[in-house]
Structure 1
Amino acid sequence: MRELLERRAALAAEMRGLLNAPAGDGGNLSAEQEARFTALKAEADTLEQRVQRQATVDEMERRAAAQPIGGTGDRNLDRELRGFSLVRAIAGQVPGLNVDAGRERELSQELARRAGRPFQGIAVPMAVFQEPMERRVVTSAAPVGGPGGNLIATDLDGSQYIDRLRNATVVRRLGARMITGLVGNLDIPKLKASATVGWVAENAPLTASDPQYAKTAFRPKHAGAIVELSRNLLMQASPDVEQLVRADFAALLAEALDAAALKGTGAGNDPTGILNASGVGSVVMGTNGGALTYDAVADLMGQVEDANGAGDAMAFVSNTKVKRAAAKLKTSQNEPLGLDVVFQNMPRAFTNSVPSNLTKGTGTNLSALIFGNWSDLILAVWSEFELTINPFESTAYSKGNVQVRGMMTCDVAPRHAESFAAIQDIVA
């Protein structure tokens, strides 16, 4: 792209030179200059198309960092990783089940080799969590005894499995950048302030100035969960059971990472999310909070635009209470403004991971609304999902079950805090 832009600038300079110094009569271009100008214009038109195409590709590659965790860049390996069986990986570590998990162990060793460090337990590629999760199978107890009761069959339709209600996940979908395969701590340098430009008189010296640099630091933060799986579940390792186990872990991971990116407190072992990041723009509704208004939404957008934080992945994020409050905003003729008008035709996403229990003054149960350039949010990931099996935990062992611990290590930070702004005191 830099070479294309430099060539475009050179073409413009040469064309400007021809216009400023015409060699023909009456200040017109000569035949030779006219021919040269026409040739330059044709090249410039072609170059402009190349610039636009390159910009499109660059933007797609820039936002490709929001792809699911676990892509290695090796197409053959990625295909193998998608066939990784989570259930076999677990069952293969349980004595007495005699489940062959050699393929899973081999893939785990390859992930560890590429990461340059050992994993605790077995390394699970995140690719296993990207397949459709809607179809699951559960088990059921026999019908309660009674006259003829044991003759009544119970049909179990796994395709209609009812999952619990969960918060929507939005951050990666909106374009957050992901950096994977990290080993050591990560610092990303950035330009904090440029050198100063000044106008001077002829033969007068320029005033020396220095650019200022800062860095955005990412440090490993750990999240995990411990679950207990039954012996039958592991022995009956059908595709439906595999989907059930994957779905549970995938939902846990996705919700934890999304919540950390949006509202992580930065306290203790928590990553610092957008709502608590230093330097994020702010619009306030009142001493004790206040109802959402069209003007407040416009001011929120202005916070980012005034700070030059606008980009190509701009979007609003809030919870369902704010969505409902926005849908109720009306004109002076009592006609609904509509969400497109309220949010000025910008993309928006709603998830109840955005808090609705904030406080300010005497106000309680206040909600947040975030606006920003989501491609300026970085999700740094140190490890693939690490799975450790403990078949000897006392409570699980007594039932023939297996305790499974899953952990991931990541951190979150914006490239530029000014690329985001938030209202955190909406009465909704």
Structure 2
Amino acid sequence: MTLQTIREARSLKVNEGRTLLDNAQRENRSLTAEESAKFDAIKGAITDLEQQEQRQQFMDDADRRSIGTPITGNTDTLPELEKRASLLAVVRAGMEGRALTGADAEVHAELERRHGKAKHGGILVPLSAFEKRQNMTTTAPELVATQHRADQYIGPLRDSVLVQRLGVRTLSGLTGNVSIPKAGTGLSVGWVEEGQALPESEMDFESVSLTPHHVGGITEMSRQLIQQSSPAIEDLVRQDLSWAIAHAVDKAIIAGTGTGGQPLGIINRTGVQEAELPETWADVLAIEQMLAAVNINPTGWYTSPGVLTALRGILKAATAGSEYIATAGRIGDLPAATSNAAPVDTAILGDWSQVLLGQWGAVEILVNPYAETPYRRGGVLVRAMSTVDVAVRHEQAFVVATKGP
């Protein structure tokens, strides 16, 4: 018997015993002689299953120690192991309650060595595990022979995850709080007559800080989905888990409140420039000029589809042959990214390389096959958690345009 099978049998016995007690309590009576004998038998079965679980857990751990060897010296081999690691195999191991083996075990052991042990028995996987692999591309792979086609998988309608593609700088592998020096007021210069002293000044320095903030997502997956070995299914699991975290990080970069565990987003930062949503070509140019005045070369706009659609219907000038302010992918001469995750009636123009996304350690995967509702359906809950923070090098590198009163 596998560890998963033993735990499921134990769970059934616990539910059976609880039903006996609940029935007696509901009727405000003690257990009958027959019920007492049945309860004692259930109790003995639970005790026996617990002992089996301990023995099986010991053997699984022994297997892991013999197969998975932690990396201790040659860090160059970790990227190669990551290529062979399977996120789906990690989820499947958590679902079945067994230890990792092979490359998955080695990567987990190395990440624990670098970043500390996972909480609550979770499994550590590298951030790269959420990236789509080129060798996963297949032609019409099947989920279950002749019945399900992975290339025809219909996913949920989701907001676009775009912010991190706009050029945000990512700092990975952080440990502890991070402080990045930032120049404040600079050197003063001036013209002087012959023999006069030059003006004196002192360099003033500030800092940009990154502190850990925890983000996570929980998704339900069917037992059958996780047990498939198709490469396309591996892609689906990666996409589902990565989107859950990436979507939350995207929203935090833009509108994080800085409270309730959230990082502080761009629109809530002191020092960010403000304007009204552009309604004319002159308004667009005025916003671009606000950034030019502080020596910022903007890399693109980020806004909602509604704002972009409105700008696509406005001409630059009321003359024959005039172009529209925006197209499907640009506002003026600059790229425009749109998502329903963007704040309503808001458009942001800026240099997105000024945003720093700090990442601590690896992503922790924890599988719960016993959550009541998914359990009844034969499904499992999979939780992915990561630790990140957002910082902005120069707040004035962004103009947040909102709808006027």
TM-score by length of 2: 0.71
Which 10-residue stretch deviates more, 260-269 or 124-133?
Answer: 124-133
* 8 Å contact kept, 1:224–1:405: yes
**Structure 2 unaligned residues grouped into runs of 5+:** 1-73
TM-score by length of 1: 0.68
Separation (CA, whole Å) in 2 of partners of 1:228 and 1:198: 66
Q: Deviation per CA, 1:313-357, whole angstroms, max 9, x where unpaired?
A: 61111111111111101231475623469833122222222111x
* 8 Å contact kept, 1:292–1:426: no
User: For 1:9-24, what aligned pairs fall within 5 Å after superposition?
Assistant: none
User: For 1:153-192, what aligned pairs fall within 5 Å after superposition?
Assistant: 155-192=147-184
Whether 1:119 aligns to 2:118 is yes
Q: CA deviation at 1:392?
A: 4.1
2:324 alignment partner, one of 333, 338, 356 = 338
Whether 1:292 aligns to 2:279 is yes
1:207 alignment partner, one of 199, 205, 213 = 199
Alpha carbons of 1:284 and 1:100: their partners in 2 closer, same or farther (altered >3 Å)?
closer
Number of residue pairs the alignment of both structures matches: 324
Q: CA deviation at 1:206?
A: 3.0
Match of 1:316 in 2: 301
**Structure 1 unaligned residues grouped into runs of 5+:** 1-72, 141-152, 286-290, 357-366
Match of 2:87 in 1: 86
Alpha carbons of 1:138 and 1:270: their partners in 2 closer, same or farther (altered >3 Å)?
farther
Whether 1:304 aligns to 2:296 is no
Separation (CA, whole Å) in 2 of partners of 1:176 and 1:74: 27
Secondary structure of the residue aligned to 2:254 is helix
Q: CA deviation at 1:268?
A: 2.3
Separation (CA, whole Å) in 1 of partners of 2:86 and 2:94: 13
Separation (CA, whole Å) in 1 of partners of 2:197 and 2:321: 63
User: For 1:270-285, what aligned pairs fall within 5 Å after superposition?
Assistant: 270-284=262-276
Separation (CA, whole Å) in 2 of partners of 1:156 and 1:343: 42
Match of 1:424 in 2: 402
Whether 1:413 aligns to 2:382 is no
* 8 Å contact kept, 1:229–1:401: yes
Q: Which letter does structure 2 place at the counterpart of 1:106?
A: E
Alpha carbons of 1:166 and 1:403: their partners in 2 closer, same or farther (altered >3 Å)?
closer
Q: CA deviation at 1:416?
A: 0.7
Match of 2:48 in 1: none
Separation (CA, whole Å) in 2 of partners of 1:75 and 1:173: 27
* 8 Å contact kept, 1:309–1:373: yes
Match of 2:110 in 1: 110
Q: CA deviation at 1:116?
A: 4.0
Q: CA deviation at 1:188?
A: 0.9
Alpha carbons of 1:138 and 1:417: their partners in 2 closer, same or farther (altered >3 Å)?
farther
Q: Percent identity?
A: 32
Secondary structure of the residue aligned to 1:224 is strand
* 8 Å contact kept, 1:283–1:299: no
1:388 alignment partner, one of 366, 372, 387 = 366
Q: Deviation per CA, 1:54-90, whole angstroms, max 9, x where unpaired?
A: xxxxxxxxxxxxxxxxxxx976532431332122112
Greater fraction of residues in helix: 2
Q: Which letter does structure 2 place at the counterpart of 1:119?
A: A
Whether 1:377 aligns to 2:362 is no
Cα RMSD (Å): 3.1
Alpha carbons of 1:100 and 1:196: their partners in 2 closer, same or farther (altered >3 Å)?
closer
Match of 1:54 in 2: none
Alpha carbons of 1:405 and 1:217: their partners in 2 closer, same or farther (altered >3 Å)?
same
Q: CA deviation at 1:154?
A: 8.9
Alpha carbons of 1:282 and 1:381: their partners in 2 closer, same or farther (altered >3 Å)?
same
Separation (CA, whole Å) in 1 of partners of 2:340 and 2:377: 37
